[in-house]
């Protein structure tokens, strides 16, 4: 039996006053339960060296609801509260697996306001979604239809910093199927002036979506800084800043979706560089140009490749793609960032970014042929070393991609 891709469809909706109040209470209760459970698990380990799991925190939740202080937890649907405990269990699993840092407490002002409902806590019939504890269905703007016959297995309701309400439905999408095999492969080099440079020589300009609203954002932030903390005017000014940020983020996300779909459809193998964006963002001169684009771009490439039966290979971040001649394999000693074109001793003149993309393609295909891992930053330290060594061995003396 063929397996189908699970895909989330996100829609905006407009709640009534009663629905908004109920959801806001639920968001607060979800945050409270998560923080209580995190505190309980932390204290159990620090004081008694005892690990407690989801089942234990679930029993604690039942006890909390019976106390006078936390009785209000029983006024909202229990499913989002249980899901918060499951999310905390997942966070600890990633921590113990050394894939993430220790879980942090959720902040009332900074944490994402959301609640997750499973099938027992919502009803979806005839295109209408009704959540637990609500008498009326949500007023959803169906910007695109759900796949025919699809039934949501999970519904997540959220509210962003700009005050917009969204509902995300997780469904099995039978329309997403692997594409026919393509023999092409492409190397992709991420940059600043050009967001992407392909090994074919094609360059995609960095749209710099924040540039259009930069002056407006600066003015709104200055107005916000002059407002008295805790005042209603400050809340209005904060909302104005948030709306500008969300407009920029929406444009960036839409552009990345359009940008990542084509290479996935046209190529069987896509080779990228394993960049440490977090470290690069520490450079104040580069942060605005990099922004969130590189991380989100890679994420989109990976999940779309998974959907359509393609392969994404990440080459070790220390591979000298810019300093290596893609024609003769000569390694230059230095290559300052301002040098955009250079000539090798063999007489070949290189565009820095195109040359890097060609070298990434050659290295990625060599690493894949050697059988090394392709996602070094998400593997074990031994796996990282293996990928680095395989990349170095496979590309040493390489004459052409």
Q: What are 25-36's pLDDT values in tens digits?
A: 999 999 999 999
Does residue 343 contact residue 184 with C-beta atoms inside 8 Å?
no
pLDDT exceeds 80 at position 230: yes
The proportion of the chain whose per-residue pLDDT surpasses 90, expressed as a percent, equals: 53
> Which is more confident, 9 or 327?
9
User: Which residues form the catalytic set?
Assistant: 189, 273, 353
Band (pLDDT 50/70/90 cuts) for residue 47 is: very high
pLDDT value at residue 270: 92
Band (pLDDT 50/70/90 cuts) for residue 338 is: confident
Instruction: Report the 10 Å Cβ neighbour count for 351.
Output: 15
Q: pLDDT (tens digit, 9 = 90+) per residue, 358-399?
A: 999 988 888 766 655 444 433 333 434 443 444 444 444 433
pLDDT value at residue 273: 85
46-61: average pLDDT? 94
All residues at 6 or more sequence positions from 287 whose CB lies less than 8 Å from its CB, including other chains = 280, 281
Residue ranges of domains in the chain: 5-173, 185-206+252-395
Place of tokens 């300052």: 336
Two tokens, residue 342: 């250079």
Least confident of 119-123, 300-304, 366-370: 366-370
Secondary structure string (H, E, C) spanning the chain: CCCCEEEEEEEEECCCHHHHHHHHHHHHHHHHHHHHHHHHHHHHHHHHCCCCCHHHHHHHHHHHHCCCCCHHHHHCCHHHHHHHHHHHHHHHHHHHCCCCCCCCCCCCCCCCEEEEEEHHHEEEECCEEEECCCCCCCCEECCCCCCCCCCCCEEEEEECCCCCEEEEEEEEECCCCCCCCCCCEEEEEECCCEEEEECCCCEEECCCHHHHHHHHHHHHHHHHHHCCCCCHHHHHHHHHHHHHHHHHHHHHHHHHHHHHHHHHHHCCEEEEECCCHHHHCCCHHHHHHHCCHHHHHHHHHHHHHHHHCCEEEEECCCCCCCCECCCCCCECCCCCCCCCEEECCCCCEEEHHHHHHHHHHHHHHHHHHHCCCCCHHHCCHHHHHHHHHHHHHHHCCCCCC
pLDDT value at residue 211: 82
pLDDT exceeds 90 at position 161: yes
192-213: average pLDDT? 84
In our burial notation (b when 16+ CB lie closer than 10 A, e otherwise), range 11-28 reads bebebeeebeebbebbbb
125-143: average pLDDT? 94
pLDDT exceeds 50 at position 77: yes
pLDDT value at residue 369: 64
Q: What are residue 312's DSSP bridge partners?
A: 270
pLDDT value at residue 3: 58
Q: Give the Cα separation of 216 and 199 in Å (integer).
A: 38
pLDDT value at residue 363: 87
Question: What pTM, to 2 d.p., does this model score?
Answer: 0.81
pLDDT value at residue 209: 79
185-198: average pLDDT? 85
pLDDT value at residue 381: 38
pLDDT value at residue 286: 60
Least confident of 142-151, 251-260, 385-394: 385-394
| Maximum CA extent, the chain | 81
Two tokens, residue 173: 């999408």
Two tokens, residue 122: 């919502």
The CB-side HSE value for 138 (13 A sphere, CA atoms) comes to 29
pLDDT value at residue 296: 86
pLDDT exceeds 60 at position 266: yes
230-256: average pLDDT? 93
Place of tokens 């029983």: 74
User: What is the side-by-side strand order in the sheet with 5-13?
Assistant: 113-118, 154-159, 165-173, 5-13, 140-141
């Amino acid at each position: 039996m063929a397996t189908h891709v699970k895909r989330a469809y996100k829609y905006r909706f407009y709640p009534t006053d009663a629905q908004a109040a109920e959801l806001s209470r639920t968001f607060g209760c979800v945050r409270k339960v998560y923080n209580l459970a995190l505190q309980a698990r932390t204290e159990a380990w620090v004081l008694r060296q005892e690990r407690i799991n989801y089942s234990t925190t679930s029993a604690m939740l039942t006890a909390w609801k019976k106390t006078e202080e936390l009785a209000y937890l029983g006024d909202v649907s229990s499913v989002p509260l249980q899901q918060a405990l499951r999310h905390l269990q997942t966070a600890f699993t990633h921590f113990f697996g050394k894939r993430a840092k220790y879980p942090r407490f959720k902040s009332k002002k900074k944490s994402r306001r959301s609640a997750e409902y499973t099938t027992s806590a919502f009803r979806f019939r005839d295109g209408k979604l009704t959540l637990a504890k609500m008498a009326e269905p949500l007023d959803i703007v169906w910007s695109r239809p759900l796949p025919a016959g699809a039934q949501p297995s999970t519904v997540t309701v959220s509210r962003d910093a700009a005050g917009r309400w969204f509902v995300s439905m997780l469904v099995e999408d039978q329309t997403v199927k692997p594409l026919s095999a393509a023999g092409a492969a492409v190397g992709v080099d991420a940059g600043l002036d050009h967001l992407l440079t392909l090994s074919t020589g094609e360059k995609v300009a960095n749209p710099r979506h924040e540039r259009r609203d930069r002056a407006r954002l600066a003015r709104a932030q200055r107005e916000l800084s002059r407002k008295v903390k805790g005042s209603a005017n400050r809340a209005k000014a904060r909302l104005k800043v948030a709306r500008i940020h969300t407009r920029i983020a929406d444009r960036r996300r839409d552009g990345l979706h359009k940008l990542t779909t084509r290479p996935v459809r046209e190529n069987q193998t896509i080779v990228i560089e394993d960049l440490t964006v977090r470290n690069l963002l520490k450079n104040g001169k580069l942060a605005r140009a990099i922004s969130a684009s590189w991380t989100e771009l890679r994420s989109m490439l990976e999940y779309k490749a998974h959907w359509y039966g393609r392969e994404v290979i990440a080459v070790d971040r220390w591979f000298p793609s810019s300093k290596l001649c893609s024609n003769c394999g000569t390694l230059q000693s230095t290559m300052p960032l301002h040098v955009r074109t250079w000539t090798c001793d063999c007489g070949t003149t290189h565009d820095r970014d195109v040359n890097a993309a060609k070298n990434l393609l050659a290295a990625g295909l060599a690493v894949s042929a050697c059988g090394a891992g392709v996602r070094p930053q998400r593997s074990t330290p031994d796996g990282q070393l293996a990928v680095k060594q395989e990349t170095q061995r496979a590309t040493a003396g390489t004459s052409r991609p």
